[in-house]
Amino acid sequence: MPNPVQDLYQANAYPAMSHPICDPAITAVAAKLAGLTVPPPSCAHILDIGCSNGHHLLALAKRWPDSRFTGIDFSGEAIREARQTAELAGIANVEFIETDLRNFDPGDTAYDFIMAHGVYCWVPPDVRQALVGFCARHLSGSGIATISYNTQPGWLHRQALVDLVNLLKTRPAAEKIGHDPAAILAWLATVPAPDTPQAAYLNSVLHDMFAKSADILSFDDFAPINQPVTFLEFVGHTHASGLRYLGESQLHANFPLSLPEGAAESLAPLAGDPLMFQQTIDTLTNRTFRSSLLCRADAPVDPRLTTATALHFAVRALHTFERIPEGARLVDHTGKEHGRFEHPLAVAFFSALADTSPETVPMQEVLERVSSIPQAQFDPTLSLPAMARLVMDAARKGLIELRIEPARFDSAIPRLPKFDHLRQLSVRRKYPLVDIYQSPCMVPDSRRTLLNAMDGTRTVDELVALGHVDNPTLDVRAWLAHLASRGLFVNQG
């Protein structure tokens, strides 16, 4: 029987990608705040289903040498590349297996973390069932699975654009427009749209698709199988297979940032029905994608955890801290404001956190810094409940990121910038670099020569001179500082 999914993956290499949304350092936090204490990812067994060439998994394996990692994929070519990369990079705590999930039987092996990014909606129904059934059988007692999927009803609007592109590429006009989705999307982006809410939304969807590379589009929006589901359908399917929904892999995704102030209060009648609450906000926000956490139905989930738990994690700033006459505000790299604060405790917290950026530090370190700020009026014996509420609110709003462990590194530019072996291999293959937080760092081809030169043999001045050969207007020092701020150099700790 023809298998269009396997045909696509055999004919085309899946783009090298990392997925910060399923990084165990953040999913462990989300699980614990949902009442499940998972094993520390630094000493765990971690499985990546649909690992492709291992780009995501290998970065995690290098980060946690005391953990065991397994990646499976049905693409023999991808698995061969993953094994070769592991050998060349000297990463010995990872195993890559060429197999179909429907035939994968690891015996009585239990996994503490299972990641399945870009699988659930993009495979036939029997594989989808195999995925959730496998998770139910092979999660450890306190293990979690992170499964991503496209959601309805938000995808209905996106589907209209996909259908239009698929129709256009079969028409005679395609000879002038182009036959591939990327070319047709580029053409559609040039067509003036009417001034209506519907047109504005479709235009935003169009530009979101257009921003993806042609390689990604064929595996995502225009994949041979792409069957979005409602949140309740997903939860019902996984529950029937022996799994329990815990929440989203990112805390702020449990209450989307697109919802305005006051929405939570208006939705209060659904407080006793959390699943219907999530389905309602999916409809209200036109959400098209989720990355959900699941555990075994019999996992020891304790619903009695309080906000004080938030003070036991590590934390990092996600925005730039600026003082203003009214107190302080947080802005992103574009200057967009994400929050204002007048209360002395909030101002002191974000000020102290800014002093530790871009590292992730234990919450206790931030609290000690807050204690040294007189204006904060912070009494460790009396103010902890207020601080815990502040931290939880900031995490839920996406103003900070809570992580299960610190991430320490020197964010200054090293004297002799150098990438580790794994990142050097990514440079040679023209893959994105994976930073210390598992986020991809995309690099223009014009800077590849400069990247290849970051092998620890050249000073910053020499790299500046070399960089100006192909990029005469590039501020090389500023770019090196950016790379250093993402923990990309080997001599940064």
What is the Cα–Cα distance from 403 to 405, expressed in whole angstroms?
A: 6
Name which residue leads in pLDDT, 344 or 305.
Answer: 344
Q: b/e for 225-238, b at 16 or more Cβ within 10 A?
A: ebbbbbbeebbebb
For residue 491, pLDDT beyond 80: no
pTM summary value: 0.95
pLDDT score, position 192: 84
pLDDT score, position 175: 86
For residue 473, pLDDT beyond 90: yes
| Contact yes or no for 371/380 (Cβ under 8 A) | yes
Confidence band for 174, pLDDT divided at 50, 70 and 90: confident
Six-digit token pair at 354? 């800014």
Mean pLDDT of the region 271-275 = 94
Mean pLDDT of the region 142-166 = 95
Mean pLDDT of the region 140-158 = 96
Average pLDDT, the chain: 94
Could you report the per-residue pLDDT of 375-419, keeping only the tens digit for each?
877 787 778 999 999 999 999 999 999 999 999 999 999 999 999
Could you report the per-residue pLDDT of 236-261, keeping only the tens digit for each?
999 999 999 999 999 999 998 788 88
Cβ-Cβ contacts under 8 Å for 472 (sequence gap 6 or more): none
Mean pLDDT of the region 49-53 = 98
Could you report the per-residue pLDDT of 65-113, keeping only the tens digit for each?
999 999 999 999 999 999 999 999 999 999 999 999 999 999 999 999 9
Comparing CA positions, the residue from 8, 18, 13, 42 lying closest to residue 124 is 8
What is the Cα–Cα distance from 422 to 89, expressed in whole angstroms?
A: 5
What is the Cα–Cα distance from 359 to 314, expressed in whole angstroms?
A: 10
In angstroms, the Cα distances linking 93 to 18, 69, 470 are 18, 6, 39
Mean pLDDT of the region 438-463 = 96
Q: Indicate the burial class of 115 (C-beta count within 10 angstroms; 0-12, 13-18, 19 or more).
A: buried
pLDDT score, position 493: 40
Could you report the per-residue pLDDT of 306-318, keeping only the tens digit for each?
889 999 999 999 9
For residue 151, pLDDT beyond 50: yes
* No. of helices (H) and no. of strands (E), the chain: 20, 16
| Contact yes or no for 235/293 (Cβ under 8 A) | no
Please report, rounded to a whole number, the percentage of residues in the chain having pLDDT higher than 70: 99
In angstroms, the Cα distances linking 370 to 119, 239, 338, 384, 446 are 44, 44, 21, 11, 44
Length of the chain: 493
pLDDT score, position 67: 99
pLDDT score, position 200: 86
For residue 451, pLDDT beyond 60: yes
Confidence band for 2, pLDDT divided at 50, 70 and 90: low
